[in-house]
Amino acid sequence: MSDSENKPSNFIRHIIDGDRRANKNNGQVVTRFPPEPNGYLHIGHAKSICLNFGLAQDYDGVCNLRFDDTNPEKEDVEYVDSIKNDVTWLGFQWQGEPKYASNYFPQLHDYALELIKAGKAYVCSLSPEEAREYRGSLTAPGKDSPYREQSVAENLDLFARMKAGEFDEGAKVLRAKIDMASPNINLRDPILYRIRKVAHHQTGNDWCIYPMYDYTHCISDAIEGITHSLCTLEFEDHRPLYDWVLDQLPELAHPQQIEFARLNLNYTITSKRKLKQLVDEKHVLGWDDPRMPTVSGLRRRGYTPLSIRNFCDRIGVTKVDGVVDMATLEFCIREDLEHRAPRAMCVINPLKVTIDTWDTETIEDLSAPRHPKDESMGRRTLKMTRVIYIDHSDFAEVPPPKYKRLTIGKEVRLRNSYVIKCNEVIKDEQGEIIELRCSHDVDTLGKKPEGRKVKGVIHWVSAEHSVPAQVRLYDRLFSEENPDAAAKDHNNEDSHFLDFLNPDSLTIMDQARVEFSLAETQAGDAFQFEREGYFTADPDSTAEQLVFNRTVSLRDSWAKTARK
């Protein structure tokens, strides 16, 4: 399977095609993926990664990984490391060494001096509160800061003293001199530098003034020779500022910023801030909790890099602010695992079955293919014994209409084994079914039974020759399609997205049994547990007990007909 062929086109590719026809940038394509290291990457970042790196690949260009690290208070090397790891895992390679906006702090400072000298920037001593008032509102123009017409000499002096640490945080900022009456608030003399007396994860205590995003990003792009600077829709209003800064610095290249819609997925959230909150407040077990839409969570859940890349290709790139159905993501992982996951049997909720017609001592080795359509995966051996387990849900005393599984007096096929018939149901004092007594038809191994049709096939494991496992079943993280909208609808200030966490997002099945051939399973190994779904061994697995995460269930048309 290849994911690099037949990539659907999109409006950004159209723009690039046009640029290449016009020989803009000598026809080169240089992109960048610019995360801030203040959290783990999520599926929405994967969309951006696939876009930026994919474009570079397809147009014989390059893509940089650049950490947008201008806010040391929220950033950490832990995030830097996880981001590098996740990008690599997704299958992409950045050009050269990872870049950091902080690499450019000296240049950024020099350009600031240039702007001041040109009368395009000034040091403003308004307090944050005053600055907000002076900014005006969405509908009302702002008014000029009293410091706006300070002399260049004074601005230079003040800025130098800001840099030297003479002022407290918040006391002064460097501002661009643009237009306080602009209908675009981003152009109302935006802040370029602020004072932050904190250590930076890359530059330590070298600086106590840090440049703002709008000032840093465009210059970083220009320094790196980025041709197409792709970002999400909320930065549309920032583009005039991106262009303004570069227009003041004519010695620099001028990349083109293009905005696309960020990814929204239903029943989950793609907000780094909120994901961090889930982790910090321990609503989940960590950034890599398999319920999280983070790259690390998806990886632990069992999603493959290819499935995620295919997903990103399928959903497309547009400017429409939409919501993608989780079913699309699930389809993509099933599509990949269908081909690559060996089949195995796992009884998640065991019900003891004794086959009275089977000799107590007899253990029969049965050979079964690892994949029904791919012989190259080889075969495994199943151990058939007198006492086996089947799943509780595969037996019903009073079967619903169209039920094809085991019921009293009826037959069912044991997958890769014999046809058995249920003769007796044994219950405990509470009336709970605790055991089935069955008989088997010796003439049904690898062949259809004589004179009758047995439709149902169920999976099973030998009681003795199977290994204990814990199976973690996951469901959607939130019970509402859009937790934020649900919180708003509740029209209640206290209501918020956490109120819609799905209490059943994790179900631990601790008594599961997997077939003997899985005894040597390693963390990360993926299987299709037949009739159940795709599962991946979790790093929590121990010598005593394997742990499997359900990546996704199989499509289940029975669940649909049973509901009717």
318 and 261 Cβ atoms separated by less than 8 Å: yes
User: Would you count residue 185 as binding RNA (CB under 7 A)?
Assistant: yes
Shortest separation between residue 397's beta carbon and RNA, angstroms: 14
Q: Cβ-count burial of 101 within 10 angstroms (0-12 exposed, 13-18 middle, 19+ buried)? A: buried
For RNA, the binding residue among 58, 154, 166, 169 (CB under 7 A) is 169
For residue 228, state whether it binds RNA (rule: CB under 7 A): no
**Catalytic residue list contains 314:** no
36 is catalytic: yes
Greatest distance between any 2 Cα atoms in the chain: 102
Classify 332 as helix, strand or coil. helix
What is the residue whose two structure tokens read 């973690």? Answer: 472
Contact partners, residue 395, CB within 8 Å, separation at least 6: 351, 405, 406, 407, 422, 433, 436
Q: Is 177 in the site for RNA (CB under 7 A)?
A: no
What share of residues in the chain are helix, strand, coil (percent, to 5)? 35, 25, 45
Give the orientation angle of helix 213-224 with respect to helix 239-248, to 10 degrees.
60
CA separation for the pair 173, 162 (Å, rounded): 8
Give the 3-state DSSP-derived string for 176-228, with helices as H, strands as E and coil as C.
Answer: ECCCCCCCCHHHCCCEEEEECCCCECCCECCCCEEECHHHHHHHHHHHHCCCE
Contact between 105 and 68 (Cβ < 8 Å)? no
Kindly tell me which residue out of 163, 319, 437, 496 binds RNA, with binding defined by CB under 7 A. Answer: 319
Among residues 272, 299, 383, 472, the one annotated as catalytic is: 272
Q: Which is nearer to RNA, 99 or 413 (CB)?
A: 413
- Written as six digits, the tokens of 467 are 């290994």
| Binding status of residue 560 toward RNA by CB under 7 A | yes
Q: Is 199 in the site for RNA (CB under 7 A)?
A: no
- 67 within 8 A of 36, measured Cβ to Cβ: yes
Binding test (CB under 7 A) with RNA, winner from 173, 178, 298, 463: 173
* C-alpha span between 406 and 346 (Å, rounded): 17
Expressed in angstroms, the distance from the first to the final Cα of the chain is 38
For residue 241, give the nearest of 230, 229, 257 by alpha carbon: 257
Residue 143 touches RNA, criterion: CB under 7 A: no
CB nearer RNA, residue 16 or residue 173: 173
**Binding segment (CB under 7 A) for RNA, from list 18-26, 79-87, 355-363, 408-416:** 408-416
Residue list 94-133, contact with RNA (CB under 7 A): 126-128, 131-132
Q: Choose between 36 and 144: whose C-beta lies nearer to RNA.
A: 36
Q: Does the active-site annotation cover 415?
A: no
Residue 472 vs 531, nearer CB to RNA: 531
| Distance from chain centroid for Cα 268 | 10
200 binds RNA (CB under 7 A): no
Site string for RNA, 460-499 (x = CB under 7 A): ----------------------------------------
Task: CB nearer to RNA: give 300 or 334.
Answer: 334
| Least distance to RNA, CB of residue 508, Å | 23
Produce one character per residue of 227-237: b if its CB has 16 or more CB atoms within 10 Å, e if not: bbbbbbeebee
Residues 431-460 that bind RNA (CB under 7 A): 444-448, 456-457
User: Which parts of 230-259 interact with RNA (CB under 7 A)?
Assistant: 233-238
Candidates 202, 257, 385, 417: give the one binding RNA (CB under 7 A): 417
Catalytic residue among 13, 148, 196, 262: 262
Contact 111, 159 (CB under 8 A): no
Interface stretch with RNA, choices 332-340, 347-355, 435-443, 465-473 (CB under 7 A): 332-340
Question: Which of these segments, 47-55, 351-359, 383-391, 410-418, binds RNA (CB under 7 A)?
Answer: 410-418
Whichever of 89 and 331 has its CB closer to RNA, that residue is 331
CB of 557 to RNA, least distance (A): 4
Least distance between RNA and beta carbon 430 (Å): 26
Give the whole-angstrom CA distance, residue 116 versus residue 252: 17
Binding mask 353-382 for RNA (x = CB under 7 A): ------------------xxx---------
561 makes contact with RNA (CB under 7 A):
yes
Residue 322 interacts with RNA (CB under 7 A): yes or no: yes
Choose, by CB under 7 A, the member of 20, 314, 392, 421 that binds RNA: 314
Cβ burial 289-324 (10 Å sphere, 16+ → b, else e): bbbbbbbbbbbbbbbbbbbbbbbbbebbbeeeeeeb
Residue 524 within binding range of RNA, rule CB under 7 A: no
Cβ 62 to RNA shortest distance, Å: 21
Site for RNA, residues 259 to 278, rule: CB under 7 A: 261
Beta carbon of residue 392, minimum distance to RNA (angstroms, whole number): 14
What are the structure tokens assigned to 263, written together?
Answer: 């990814």
Minimum distance between the CB of residue 141 and RNA, rounded to whole angstroms? 9
Residues 8-67 contacting RNA, CB under 7 A: 8-11, 14, 34, 36
Query: Tokens for 27?
Result: 């026809």
Site for RNA in 336-355 (CB under 7 A): 338, 343
Binding residues among 540-559 for RNA as defined by CB under 7 A: 554-558
Among the listed residues 36, 364, 435, 481, the single catalytic one is 36
Residue 16's φ and ψ, nearest 5 degrees, are -65, -40
Q: Which residue has the tokens 């509102």?
A: 137
Q: Using N-to-C axis directions, what is the helix angle for 213-224 and 105-117, rounded to 10°?
A: 110
| From 221-229, 299-307, 328-336, 506-514, span contacting RNA (CB under 7 A) | 328-336
Pairing of strands 99-100, 62-67: parallel
* φ/ψ of residue 436, rounded to 5: -120, 140
DSSP state of 89: H
Cβ closest to RNA, residue 191 vs residue 486: 191
Nearer to RNA, 96 or 400 (CB): 400
Active-site amino acid positions: 36, 262, 272
